């Protein structure tokens, strides 16, 4: 399909307001200003848009949960924290197509009755912050944001907030805590943010890519949007393809695409023309799929049927030289570091899993350690305050399930079980 979220990425000055206005910029907002909030929500529901932040929850339905009769102010928080390993699409949207994004923020605010939008940007995105602030100023000056937007009487303000750079700050209630000036640690749910969110007021938290879809739905129509891609998995989708591929990058298509097409057609196949070994399809928190399972639709529902998830659409490709023990250890190192420490199973369990995997990787593992890995993982998943605990399990359990023989060989020989020429090399991370 023709890209509609990233049509001009790479063209000079594509991020500027002038460029956006030459390419239907803010047409969706013009239409939204002539519609009631209920009509906007209805259009988003009809489009079938599902949230692009990981869970795939229907966006129109989420907006509908915001109480209309609440006397409190309402807020939109856009989640631009993007810290999941393998995921790098949202900052491309904000940096290369900022006006589509800002237009989406204003329309979403109008739909839920919010007068203020906070964009929570990952701390490390320095350049992005500069681009976004410059273009936001231009949007204010041109009357697309701020007081009396396009003479409609509508007032909506947008603030950019830079986080300190923590994966956990992307969890929606942790993000809200962080915006309030506290440590980015999650809150117990319920109550859900739609009713009790930022400053105790009704709040919607949406992903950047989700928000960028909104102007397209308004401008071109819900029917046009709903006709893109498979049923219940509608609209354009950005995929981040990284790892052992010839052309890593962000690719836009619809969700009828398969993992094989994304790896071989879009990303040019495996570097060095080596064999594919495994794929993590949706960011580090989704189950790894072995090479013979890639003829599957890379959609929300297709990947669930294949035993994994679309998640944040961060496709990590691993060739035959990759040690799966190293992969699990490396990811657990990340999770151990990023756990916010609020609940015991996650705080202690991630550390323990990392220690066991490191022991195996050093060549000091025992076969009973493999059962211990399952047991510790089982005592984290589903037993924690926030979904971070569930995210820790897939790298361990899915690599063990699909590559148990490799783990056992590593325990028996003390070395990674890799392609023969690779196994001769020194044990230096085996990657
Ligand atoms: C540990 C953790 C980190 C997360 N990080 C992000 C993130 O960086 N960006 C994001 O949009 N959603 C992230 N999420 C999901 C959000 O909590 C939330 O579901 C999402 O922003 C909702 O947006 P959507 O409905 O538009 O998908 C994270 C969730 C967890 C548990
Ligand atoms: S699961 Fe982990 S990250 Fe989430 S609240 Fe508990 S300790 Fe914090």
DSSP per position, 351-407: HHHHHHHHHHHTT---HHHHHHHHHHHHTTTTSSSSTHHHHHHHHHHHHHHHSHHHH
CA 134 to chain centre: 25
Q: Which residues line ligand 1 (CB under 6 A)?
A: 51-55, 57, 62, 79, 81-84, 167-168, 170-172, 205-207, 210, 386-388
The answer to whether the beta carbons of residues 67 and 191 sit under 8 Å apart is no
Give the DSSP H or E segment for 250: strand 249-254
Helix axis angle, 208-220 relative to 37-47, nearest 10°? 100
Q: What is the mean pLDDT of the chain?
A: 95
The answer to whether the beta carbons of residues 170 and 283 sit under 8 Å apart is no
76-89 average pLDDT score: 96
Residue 16: the pLDDT is 96
- pLDDT level of residue 181 (50, 70, 90 thresholds): very high
Kindly give the distance from the C-alpha atom of residue 209 to the centroid of ligand 2, in angstroms, as a whole number. 25
- pLDDT level of residue 204 (50, 70, 90 thresholds): very high
Kindly give the distance from the C-alpha atom of residue 319 to the centroid of ligand 1, in angstroms, as a whole number. 29
Residue 415: the pLDDT is 86
Kindly give the distance from the C-alpha atom of residue 379 to the centroid of ligand 2, in angstroms, as a whole number. 13
Q: How many helices (DSSP H) and strands (DSSP E) are in the chain?
A: 18, 9
Ligand nearest to the CA of 188: 2
CA 286 – CA 313 distance, rounded (Å)? 10
Residue labelled with tokens 């399952």: 374
Kindly give the distance from the C-alpha atom of residue 153 to the centroid of ligand 1, in angstroms, as a whole number. 32
- Indicate if the pLDDT at residue 428 is higher than 50: no
Ligand nearest to the CA of 186: 2
Residue 420: the pLDDT is 46
265-271 CB contacts, 8 Å cutoff, 24+ apart: 266/239, 266/241, 267/241, 267/317, 269/245, 270/244, 270/245, 270/246, 270/317, 270/319, 271/244, 271/245, 271/246, 271/319
The atom number, within ligand 2, closest to the CA of 168 reads 3
Residues 269-323: pLDDT tens digits? 999 999 999 999 999 999 999 999 999 999 999 999 999 999 999 999 999 999 9
The atom number, within ligand 1, closest to the CA of 386 reads 31
In the sheet that holds 157-162, the strands lie side by side as: 157-162, 116-121, 75-80, 203-207
Kindly give the distance from the C-alpha atom of residue 80 to the centroid of ligand 1, in angstroms, as a whole number. 9
- Indicate if the pLDDT at residue 423 is higher than 50: no
Residue labelled with tokens 């006397």: 71
Give the DSSP H or E segment for 214: helix 208-220
Kindly give the distance from the C-alpha atom of residue 345 to the centroid of ligand 2, in angstroms, as a whole number. 8
Residue 115: the pLDDT is 98
236-261 average pLDDT score: 98
Q: SS3 of 109, please?
A: helix
The atom number, within ligand 2, closest to the CA of 341 reads 7
Q: List the structure tokens of 220.
A: 């071109």
Residue 417: the pLDDT is 76
The atom number, within ligand 1, closest to the CA of 170 reads 5
Residues 7-56: pLDDT tens digits? 988 898 999 999 999 999 999 999 999 999 999 999 999 999 999 999 99
The atom number, within ligand 1, closest to the CA of 62 reads 25
> Do the bridges between strand 249-254 and strand 236-243 make them parallel or antiparallel, or are there none, so unpaired?
antiparallel
The total number of residues written for the chain in this structure:
431
Residues 363-395: pLDDT tens digits? 999 999 999 999 999 999 999 999 999 999 999
């Amino acid at each position: 399909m023709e890209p509609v979220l990233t049509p001009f990425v790479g063209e000079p000055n594509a991020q500027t307001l002038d460029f956006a206005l030459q390419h239907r910029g803010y047409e969706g907002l013009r239409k939204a200003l002539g519609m009631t909030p209920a009509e906007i929500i209805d259009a988003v529901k009809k489009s079938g848009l599902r949230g692009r932040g990981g869970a795939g929850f229907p966006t129109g339905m989420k907006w509908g949960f915001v109480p209309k009769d609440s006397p409190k102010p309402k807020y939109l928080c856009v989640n631009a924290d993007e810290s999941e390993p393998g995921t790098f699409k949202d900052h491309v949207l904000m940096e290369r197509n900022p006006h589509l994004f800002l237009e989406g923020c204003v329309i979403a605010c109008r739909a839920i009755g919010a007068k203020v939008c906070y964009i929570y940007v990952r701390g490390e995105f320095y350049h992005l912050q500069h681009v976004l602030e410059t273009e936001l100023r231009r949007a204010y000056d041109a009357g697309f944001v701020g007081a009396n937007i396009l003479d409609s009487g509508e007032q909506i303000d947008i603030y950019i907030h830079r986080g300190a750079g923590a994966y956990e700050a992307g969890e929606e209630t942790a993000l809200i805590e962080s915006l309030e000036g506290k440590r980015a640690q999650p809150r117990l749910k319920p109550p859900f943010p739609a009713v009790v969110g930022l400053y105790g007021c009704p709040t919607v938290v949406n992903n950047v890519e989700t928000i960028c879809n909104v102007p397209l739905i308004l401008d071109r129509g819900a029917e046009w949007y709903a006709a893109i891609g498979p049923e219940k998995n509608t609209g354009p989708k950005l995929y981040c393809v990284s790892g052992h591929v010839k052309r890593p990058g962000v690719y836009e298509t619809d969700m009828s695409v398969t993992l094989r097409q994304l790896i071989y057609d879009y990303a040019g196949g495996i570097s060095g023309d080596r064999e594919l070994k495994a794929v993590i399809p949706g960011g580090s928190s989704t189950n790894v799929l072995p090479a013979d399972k890639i003829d599957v639709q890379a959609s929300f529902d297709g990947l669930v049927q294949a035993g994994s998830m679309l998640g944040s659409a961060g496709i990590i490709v691993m060739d035959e030289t990759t040690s799966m023990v190293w992969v699990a250890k490396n990811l657990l190192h990340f999770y151990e570091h990023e756990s916010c420490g609020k609940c015991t199973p996650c705080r202690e369990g991630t550390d323990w899993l990392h220690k066991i995997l490191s022991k195996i990787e050093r060549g000091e593992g025992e076969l009973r350690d493999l059962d211990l890995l399952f047991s510790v993982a089982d005592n984290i998943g589903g037993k924690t305050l926030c979904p971070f605990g569930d995210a820790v399990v897939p790298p361990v359990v899915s690599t063990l399930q699909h590559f148990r023989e490799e783990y056992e060989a590593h325990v028996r020989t003390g070395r990674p079980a890799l392609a023969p020429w690779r196994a001769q090399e020194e044990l230096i991370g085996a990657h």
